[in-house]
Chains A and B, each alone.
Chain A
Amino acid sequence: MKILLVDDSRTMRNIQKKVLGDLGAVEFSEAGDGLEALTAIASTPEGFNLIMVDWNMPNMDGITLISRIREKDKATPLIMATTEAEKSRVMEALKAGVNNYVIKPFTPEMLLEKVKTTLEKLKAVA
């Protein structure tokens, strides 16, 4: 399983890496902003099984990144993990094409549960 973690905080990426490591054999890639994420996606022809995206990042923010990904790829599961908690923001992200939304602060259990639920739901639909 390949997961791309996009967050400008290295600490947050490390936390996500450790928590999502519980999903089993996971190969992680990391990006510090939207532009780095697009490069990582372009250089991974086999694609990712999941992309975790932060909203507020330098160079290219998360919402722009999601829109850019969804222009070409409707299938890869995208989860936004962000401090943006307003309903309007959540709606905006869903419209852009995220499959689920995790609001910071979250516990490791909350994150893992959200990711598992999302992956299972998408698997069932497929």
Chain B
Amino acid sequence: MNTTLDTCLSGQYRLKQWLVNTDKSAQDDCSHYDRSHILLVNCGQIIAHIAPAAEDTPDPFTLGSGIELTSDAQSLRATITGQLYRQDGRIWVEDELKIGGDVDFSTGNINFSGNVIIGGGVADLFQVNAKGSIRIAGSVGAAEINAGGDLITSAGILGNGKGRCTAGGLLQCTHASSAALYSGQDVIARRELFGCQVFSSGAVRVEAGALMGGEAVAAGGINCRVLGSVSGSPTIVCAGQDPALAQLARERLPALEAQRQKLQQTRQSVESFLKNAKMLSPAQKEKATEILYEVAQQEAVIQKDLAALHRDWKTSQDRSRSEIRVERMLHAGVTIRFPGLQATTTTDQRGPMRIVPKGADQVALISDFGATRLLAARPFVDPLIQSLSKALNLEK
């Protein structure tokens, strides 16, 4: 018998034993950052043992969504993974984790398999990890936030040199300073990005303010109102190069190189066998056949990995856009990079303008009013991208 919200009658059962740990702070070996009063349950987890309730049972309950009775009617089981609530005689599970206030010592670090909604902010040194999206109403301090989907903060990210936010999807905030921001799609700051390390596989957009200090790398181009600062804070922007490619190179090239070396060694051992094939004993011939098979297997693995890398490279190239747009002011001291070249501005330039590579050794600042100014560029090659390009035989 499975009973859900629709069929369960209030007062029919009483709780015999509550099985979900309600307070991690009771555990002495638990870090203060991991202590939490939030109840999280996994799909299929037994939450409580129950018994039939008498008419005068003092603590009857009603089942809400995300919970069912087990077939023997002796226990309650979660039917979804999520946050468990027990309130006013009702028990239910929601697949979205809602935190009314701040993520701090009152909540501990958050690890959740779905979406997370935080009513307040995230305090320094805390972590929020969600496989789904994360929405934060308050500001984020020097914390670590990882969202499988979008990460949207209604306030700012004040990283203080330690904050790190990663989003598989869109990353949006009003402003961010001294934080590392990684996004699989666009990074949008409504007012300002100051002294941040920004890596986006989409575009970086600072809709109403300045991108100043730090570094911003965006596959899909960069768009801001002001680029650089009056004080000349070192600012580097790179458009048209997918930071995910560098990550890809960092992650996969060492393994690929190791595979190649192994293949080389195997080839050498088989070559020495084959040079004297006629002199080999039957057992050695059998062994040589095994090694030849091993070589073929290793080659197939390398080819498969290279094909996957080629696909990722192509996808990245398809979404790349080597253009920077500045609406109001481009300051002196900004290093502008496009794949293969870089230039540094030496004077302030008024916008609106777009900045694009021109040939192999120039960067063009093209005003919306028609004037074009050329900056001398010098070669710039990201060593990781170069290694990847070499591995894929893409170099001319």
B-contacting residues of A (Cβ < 8 Å)? Answer: 9, 11-12, 15, 18-19, 56, 83-85, 104-109
Instruction: State whether B296 touches A83 (Cβ < 8 A).
Output: no
B277 in the interface, Cβ–Cβ < 8 Å? yes
User: Which A residues are CB-close (under 8 A) to B273?
Assistant: 105
Q: Is B293 an interface residue (CB 8 A)?
A: yes
Bound CA–CA A107/B299 (angstroms): 12
Are B278 and A12 touching (Cβ within 8 A)? no
Q: Contact partner of B286 among A85, A104, A107, CB < 8 A?
A: A104
- Cβ–Cβ contact A106 & B278, under 8 A: no
* B282 and A12 within 8 A (CB): no
B282 lies within 8 A of A105 (CB): no
- Docked pose: A9 CA to B286 CA in angstroms: 9
Verify if B274 is at the interface (C-beta below 8 Å from A).
yes
Q: Does B384 contact A (CB under 8 A)?
A: no
Q: Is B286 within 8 A of A108, CB to CB?
A: no
Q: Is the CB of B289 within 8 A of A12?
A: yes
- Complex formed: what's the CA distance from A15 to B273 in Å? 19
Closest 10 CB pairs of A and B: A105-B288, A83-B282, A83-B285, A105-B289, A104-B285, A108-B296, A15-B293, A107-B292, A104-B289, A105-B285
Q: Does residue B368 face the partner (Cβ distance < 8 Å to A)?
A: no
Residues on B with C-beta less than 8 A from A104 are 282, 285-286, 288-289
Q: Do A106 and B282 touch (CB < 8 A)? A: no
A106: contacting residue among B280, B289, B295, CB under 8 A: B289
Beta-carbon contacts of B256-295 to A below 8 Å, as 1s and 0s? 0000000000000010011001101010011011111101
Size range of the chain B interface in the assembly: 10 to 19
> Count of A-B contacts with CB under 8 A?
44
Contact yes or no, B293 A108, CB < 8 A: yes
Q: Which of B's residues lie within 8 Å of A, judged by CB? A: 270, 273-274, 277-278, 280, 282, 285-286, 288-293, 295-296
Set of chain B residues within 8 Å of A84, measured between Cβ atoms: 282
How far, in Å, is A71 (CB) from chain B's closest CB? Answer: 27
> How close is A90's CB to chain B, nearest CB, in angstroms?
14
B278 touches A15 (CB 8 A): no
In the bound complex, do residue B296 and residue A107 qualify as a contact, i.e. CB atoms below 8 Å apart? yes
Q: Is the CB of A106 within 8 A of B286?
A: no
* Contact B292–A12 (Cβ < 8 Å): no
Known: A12-B286, A12-B289, A105-B288. A85 touches B296 (CB 8 A): no
Beyond the given pairs A15-B290, A19-B293, A83-B282, 5 more chain A to chain B contacts, judged by CB atoms under 8 angstroms and listed by A's residue number, are A15-B289, A83-B280, A83-B285, A84-B282, A104-B282
Pick the contact of A11: B274, B282, B290 (CB < 8 A).
Answer: B290
Closest residue of chain B to A15 (Cβ to Cβ) is B293
Q: Which residues of A contact B277 (CB under 8 A)?
A: 105
Q: How far is the CA of A12 from the CA of B277 in the complex (A)?
A: 18
Q: List 16 A-B contacts (CB under 8 A).
A: A12-B286, A12-B290, A15-B290, A56-B282, A83-B280, A83-B285, A83-B286, A104-B285, A104-B286, A105-B280, A105-B286, A105-B292, A106-B289, A106-B292, A108-B292, A109-B296
CA distance A38 to B368 in the complex (A): 86
B31 to chain A, nearest CB (A): 49
B298 to chain A, nearest CB (A): 12
Nearest Cβ on chain A to B184's Cβ, whole angstroms: 37
Instruction: Give the distance in Å from the alpha carbon of A16 to the alpha carbon of B285 in the complex.
Output: 15
Chain B residue contacts of A108, Cβ below 8 A: 292-293, 296
The reply to whether B296 and A105 form a contact with Cβ atoms under 8 Å apart is no
* A13, chain B: closest CB distance, angstroms: 12
Shortest Cβ distance from A73 into chain B, in angstroms?
A: 28
Bound complex: CA of A106 vs CA of B274, how far in Å?
10
Chain A nearest CB, measured from B294 CB (Å) = 9
CB distance from A89 to the nearest CB of B (A): 12
CA of A12 to CA of B296, assembled, Å? 15
Docked-complex contact B278 and A105, CB < 8 angstroms: no
The minimal Cβ–Cβ distance linking B289 to chain A, given in whole angstroms, is 4
